[in-house]
Structure 1
Amino acid sequence: MAVILDGRVLSEKIRGELKEEVEYLKEKFGRAPTLAVVLVGNDPASEIYVRNKIKACQKVGINSLDKKLPETITQEELNRVVKELNDNKDVDGIIVQLPLPKHLSCREVINYISPEKDVDGFHPLNAGKCMLGLYDEGLMPCTPAGVMKFFEEYGIELQGKNAVMVGHSNIVGKPLANMLLNANATVSVCHVYTQDLAFYTKKADILCVATGVPHLIKAEMVKDGAVVIDIGISRLNGKIVGDVDFEAVKEKASAITPVPGGVGPMTITMLLYNTVKAFKMRHGI
């Protein structure tokens, strides 16, 4: 039976540490770190995500600035809002909730956010620092950074291990593959065009999956004793499930993240972590 890598427990531990740090920073600098959250339109899922992020900020003492913009906003107007936040000395982190309405360019908005305030870690400058392993000099993407915290917390060795990343998105797959590579794992990256996916997954000591395809990874595709990190999330028959057939795979894996309750809680926690980090970097700490 696998060890369950509990994201809720680890998240609470890190948030407790952040709360103490925020109290110290507020006392030393006269204000707490501040996160600006920009929401365009009325997408119900996005509204829930934003509400959860703001609530998480409140719990650790981070100030939040909620910017709700109409769905009809133009690219130029949205860029202007981002520029105002870039120029605001009391704002340390900026996120623009994705996805955006179809007439707006996600790439343009991401590029417009100041790299020093890009707490999602999506800006090309931060992506480059992630690839080069310059973690102290930039802001790392939240979900991959949260996965790396699991390895650190549970003492999971990466050096010399065969790691397989299934999924190659700019937000999760590519940065996490680079992080694993920088930790001296031997990394294979698979995706929807990979032929014979099981050929790769069966060799993985560390298997990370982020595709959004429910139960893509079956027990017969997993090596005995592998560490399995399920980053996908979907709704199947009214239930929230991951990319891994959890009930079957947990019998073969040495450690596994559940869905929900695994990687998900760590994503928002690392957003809080990055906001505090951005504040400290701006103050030369």
Structure 2
Amino acid sequence: MGEVSSSIADKDIVDCSSLVPIDEQDQDDNMTQDSSGGDQILSAVPPLSVVRRIEEPYMGQEFVSEAEAHAFYNAYATRVGFVIRVSKLSRSRRDGSVIGRALVCNKEGFRMPDKREKIVRQRAETRVGCRAMIMVRKLNSGLWSITKFVKEHTHPLTPGRGRRDFVYEQYPIVSHTEPLTVYLALKWLYDFLIPLPLLFSSSSHLNPCSPFSKVDKKENLEESGHDRVRELSQQLALEKNRTETYKRNLELLYEYIEEHNETVSKQIQQIVESVKEIEAKEQENPR
């Protein structure tokens, strides 16, 4: 799998690489681990144009901040063709600050099927056990360095595609909202075209001595048609905006569900491990 690992003699750093087994673990009394991954990365993420242009991450690569490391790996993931996810973090027992972070492929791990879930439509597989990731740690100097890099993926890559493209692929029904707009447009056109023959037929029975000439009648019809077309255009624009809103909401909902499932899976795994430890202790020390 092309895994590389190293340990740094930094008593404020703890290895949080339990996602991918490695041979070395450096822990001390001044450090602790937090597997929730709940802390948010610094909001001051530099724009992609500022991110250093490097073909791929490498061991020992340094960044000014955690946010810069996240932006770099995200840009690399977009170019290569996958989406990243914040996985685990390490905290210092001294002040509780984040000193380590693992960024993994969003297809890391496996999705646990819910037997209670009624499958109406088969969703695209989102977890295939991919182990591609980087791990960054904060050094004594204040810089952040890559201490682990796994390059290979266990699934096809799609270079140049972003998070939104992957979401639409997993939820293809999102792209099916366009027929609604087309249907409404056709319906409005149908409502507009039907009265036209009645309008023209009724105009033929008008009094020829009417003060309105044929030119005036034609202009009135054209003006009415333009007004109707303008109204339809406004309605189409409104439906398009509504469709975009639905897409954004579905995207946010998917991300929330994914994060929630990940948190629940980790909690279940911790409970299982705790139960195993208790059973092992009871077997070692029977009453």
Same fold by TM-score, threshold 0.5 exceeded? no
Larger radius of gyration: 2
RCO comparison, higher one (Cα < 8 Å, 6+)? 1
Shorter-chain TM range is under 0.3
Relative to the length of structure 1, the TM-score reads 0.26
TM-score normalised by L of structure 2: 0.26
